[in-house]
């Protein structure tokens, strides 16, 4: 158990809908990262937040957004969902902004029908 929690574990929704994925980092970690794992794209970095501020952005679609709250939990919002958004979404956390050691949560499996 990495100490990173993600909810929900599974999510099934329809095209065009909007969902919110939630992540709680390990106690004491200030950085949160979101990654997407899909069969065709593999594991891809989406976005990083550090202490409430966006610090790095990867291949994140404009339909997706994230934020980190004062209690350091983070949410990833996915809107106007398409079939191709079906994937495993992982959250990771690290103590500092450099992210040398990133610990991953169990993931949220999103299925878009």
Partner 1 sequence: GEDVEQSLFLSVREGDSSVINCTYTDSSSTYLYWYKQEPGAGLQLLTYIFSNMDMKQDQRLTVLLNKKDKHLSLRIADTQTGDSAIYFCAEKIDRGGKLIFGQGTELSVKP
- C-alpha 110/C-alpha 113 separation (Å) is 10
Work out how close the CB of 76 gets to partner 1 at its nearest, in angstroms, rounded to a whole number.
15
- C-alpha 90/C-alpha 104 separation (Å) is 7
Per CB under 8 A, 25 contacts partner 1 = no
How long, in residues, is the chain?
A: 113
Work out how close the CB of 55 gets to partner 1 at its nearest, in angstroms, rounded to a whole number.
6
Per CB under 8 A, 105 contacts partner 1 = yes
CA distances to 22, 53, 88, 98 from 8, in Å:
7, 24, 11, 28
- Name, in order, each residue with C-beta under 8 angstroms of 61's C-beta and a sequence gap of 6 or more: none
- Residue closer to partner 1, measured from CB, 5 or 65: 5
From 25, 94, 110, 112, residue interacting with partner 1 (rule: CB under 8 A): 94
Binding site for partner 1 (CB under 8 A): 2, 4, 31, 33, 35, 42-45, 48, 55-56, 58, 90, 92, 94, 97-107
């Amino acid at each position: 158990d990495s100490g990173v929690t993600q909810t929900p574990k599974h999510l099934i929704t329809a095209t065009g809908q909007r969902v919110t994925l939630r992540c709680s980092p390990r106690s004491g970690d200030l950085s949160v990262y979101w990654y997407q794992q899909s069969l065709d794209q593999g594991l891809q970095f989406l976005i990083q937040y550090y202490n409430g501020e966006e610090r790095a952005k990867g291949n994140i679609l404009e339909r997706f957004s994230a934020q980190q709250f004062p209690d350091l939990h983070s949410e990833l919002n996915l809107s106007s969902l398409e079939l191709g958004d079906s994937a495993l979404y992982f959250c990771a956390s690290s103590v500092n902004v450099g992210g040398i050691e990133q610990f991953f949560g169990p993931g949220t499996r999103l299925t878009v029908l």
